[in-house]
Chains A and B, each alone.
Chain A
Amino acid sequence: KAGVTQTPRYLIKTRGQQVTLSCSPISGHRSVSWYQQTPGQGLQFLFEYFSETQRNKGNFPGRFSGRQFSNSRSEMNVSTLELGDSALYLCASSFLQGFGETQYFGPGTRLLVL
């Protein structure tokens, strides 16, 4: 099976702009989670989607949002970008929703905010 894919792989934006990142899960996987990875904070959970519904949300401001489509593909959006949003954004998919499900990561989208 093909792995988790993310587009774009690299992105440069300026403060105040917005950005949309895309994630395609492993075929058959219905749960998609998003994480932000930075050198200082490590890997932090953003949100999880299952069957087009947000099931869990991390401690991030409302500028961070997401959605999931009927084919399980997911997008996350960051509005009014700040310098501190520069990070590697990773999505991970799992077969089912729920704790204890093995998650498989995509290659990430590296976002640089200038």
Chain B
Amino acid sequence: GENVEQHPSTLSVQEGDSAVIKCTYSDSASNYFPWYKQELGKRPQLIIDIRSNVGEKKDQRIAVTLNKTAKHFSLHITETQPEDSAVYFCAAEGNTPLVFGKGTRLSVIA
């Protein structure tokens, strides 16, 4: 079955700096890769997703890149703000239901 590895598990950045979170997956059949943000005590919220026919997708300060050959995808957050502090989860889906990474706790220091 699918296995998703996410790194780093914790990340601290200064406000205004960029943050990068990386995920690798094992199943070459996976073709849908969403990213969720979960603030403390709240529900996971979809922030961006990418499908296998696209190599990069951007939405304001957030971008996701996908390398299908290497089976990895990354989340890039530019000009980080304190409200970006949360746990971020990557996930992969193909022939199996969504499999999530273990999450990255991002802290943005003002």
Q: Are B98 and A100 in contact (CB under 8 A)?
A: no
Q: Is A43 an interface residue (CB 8 A)?
A: yes
CA distance A107 to B41 in the complex (A): 8
Bound CA–CA A64/B99 (angstroms): 19
Contact among A42, A45, A90, A100 for B43, CB-based, below 8 A:
A90
Q: Which residue of B44, B95, B102, B103 contacts A90 across the interface (Cβ within 8 Å)? A: B44
A104 within 8 A of B: yes
Number of interface residues of A (CB under 8 A): 19
Nearest neighbor of A33 in chain B, beta-carbon distance: B97
Tell me whether A7 is interfacial, beta carbon within 8 Å: no
- Counting chain B residues whose Cβ lies within 8 A of the other chain, the interface size class is 20 to 34
How does the 8 Å CB contact mask read for B12-37 relative to A, with 1 for contact and 0 for none?
00000000000000000001101010
Measured CB to CB, the nearest residue on chain A to B52 is A100
CB-CB under 8 A for A100 and B32, given A43-B44, A105-B45, A108-B43: yes
Which chain B residues border A107 with CB–CB below 8 Å?
Answer: 42-43
User: Which residues of B pack against A, CB within 8 Å?
Assistant: 31-32, 34, 36, 42-46, 49, 51, 89, 91, 93-103
- A-B CB contact pairs (8 Å), 26 listed: A33-B97, A33-B98, A42-B101, A42-B102, A42-B103, A43-B44, A43-B89, A43-B100, A45-B98, A48-B97, A56-B97, A90-B43, A99-B31, A99-B32, A99-B93, A99-B96, A99-B97, A100-B31, A100-B32, A100-B51, A102-B34, A103-B34, A103-B46, A104-B46, A105-B36, A108-B43
